[in-house]
Amino acid sequence: MAESGTQHRGMPMSTSRIEIVESINEFATLLKDIWISAAIQSIESNNFFSAALSGGNTPQVIYKSLAEIIPIEIWNKTRLFQVDERYVSPEHKDSNRKMISETLIKSLPSTKAEFHNIDTDLSIEESAKSYESLIKNKVTCHNKIPSLDLVILGLGTDGHTASLFPESIVLDEKERLVSPVYTSSEMHDRITMTYPLLNKAHNIIYFISGAEKADVLHNLLEKTYFHYPAAEIRPENGSLTFLCDRESASKLYQ
Ligand code: 6PG
């Protein structure tokens, strides 16, 4: 049973909504309608649909079912991108490219879908610059900035999203659309889409699951003074949707 349409203080009221479902297994069904609707609209206007995918664990179950629930006609006109990447080889166990390839790309029917991954064989600076150029070339621009049709995000327990971590200088980036992020060694250095690019997206969806996210989600949506990096995801002319399971939403509305 989903509760929908709830809006929360601190988020762009006109564009945010939250859907709560019993389990993560229902996420793909909710995503399907949003994905197909956004794709049809973009394909009609631009002849293709652009979607950027995050890494992490939560979206894996969703990516595993996407290949079969989205019609091939849409895949034929889809350009997939990465929201962020760990600066590791594509074969590394922590590679988001590896995870997306294994959960989604390998399951796609023979289609013309394009998967534009972040090239971590380049230096980290060159990788970010190269990816920014690719996005400018492959995504429809509005006012000279690419506007992705759909972005899938996760939420860390520290309030990060993408590779936009608390206290990181990338939070202040106002020009670059893709940036390197230098972190502590166990988290790997990263390449990430920045606020200037993410906030131009037409549809942003957070997938949030598990009791360990209950506090951060409660603080993000209902205690705006926490100033999490995720709180600055405010699509300028787009929708912002939180798809949460019952466990992660357990401290909302208290
Ligand atoms: C990454 C992701 C990252 C992720 C959050 C939440 O590369 O790890 O882009 O931002 O979305 O850390 O991860 P979970 O969904 O696995 O909790």
Residue 96, ligand 1, Cβ within 6 A: yes
What is each CA distance from 103 to 53, 56, 81, 171, 218, in whole angstroms? 12, 12, 15, 30, 30
Q: From the alpha carbon of 153, which atom of ligand 1 is closest?
A: 11
The 84-86 sheet, strands edge to edge? 84-86, 190-193, 178-181
Label residue 115 by pLDDT band (50, 70, 90): very high
What average pLDDT is seen over the chain? 92
Q: From the alpha carbon of 154, which atom of ligand 1 is closest?
A: 11
pLDDT of residue 254: 76
Q: Check pLDDT > 90 for residue 11.
A: no
Residue 147, ligand 1, Cβ within 6 A: no
Across the range 118-140, mean pLDDT stands at 97
pLDDT of residue 2: 45
Separation of alpha carbons 230 and 17, rounded Å: 15
pLDDT of residue 210: 97
Across the range 97-103, mean pLDDT stands at 98
Task: Give the list of residues 6+ apart from residue 88 with CB closer than 8 angstroms, or none.
Answer: 94, 95, 120, 188
How far, in Å, is the centroid of ligand 1 from the Cα of 208?
A: 10
Residue 205, ligand 1, Cβ within 6 A: no
Across the range 161-170, mean pLDDT stands at 97
Q: Which residues pair with 179 in a beta bridge?
A: 192
pLDDT of residue 16: 83
How far, in Å, is the centroid of ligand 1 from the Cα of 85?
A: 10
Dihedral (CA of 142, 146, 152, 157) sign: negative
How far, in Å, is the centroid of ligand 1 from the Cα of 45?
A: 31
Label residue 14 by pLDDT band (50, 70, 90): very low
Q: Check pLDDT > 60 for residue 7.
A: no
Q: Check pLDDT > 70 for residue 48.
A: yes
User: pTM of the full predicted structure?
Assistant: 0.94
Q: Check pLDDT > 80 for residue 105.
A: yes
Q: Is 30 left (phi over 0), alpha (psi -120 to 50) or beta?
A: alpha
Q: From the alpha carbon of 208, which atom of ligand 1 is closest?
A: 15
Residue 179, ligand 1, Cβ within 6 A: no
Q: What is the pLDDT of residues 65-82, one digit of tens each?
A: 999 999 999 999 999 999
Q: What is the pLDDT of residues 171-195, one digit of tens each?
A: 999 999 999 999 976 789 999 999 9
How far, in Å, is the centroid of ligand 1 from the Cα of 47?
A: 30
Q: Check pLDDT > 50 for residue 13.
A: no
Question: Which residue puts its alpha carbon closest to atom 15 of ligand 1?
Answer: 58
DSSP count for the chain of H helices, then E strands: 7, 13
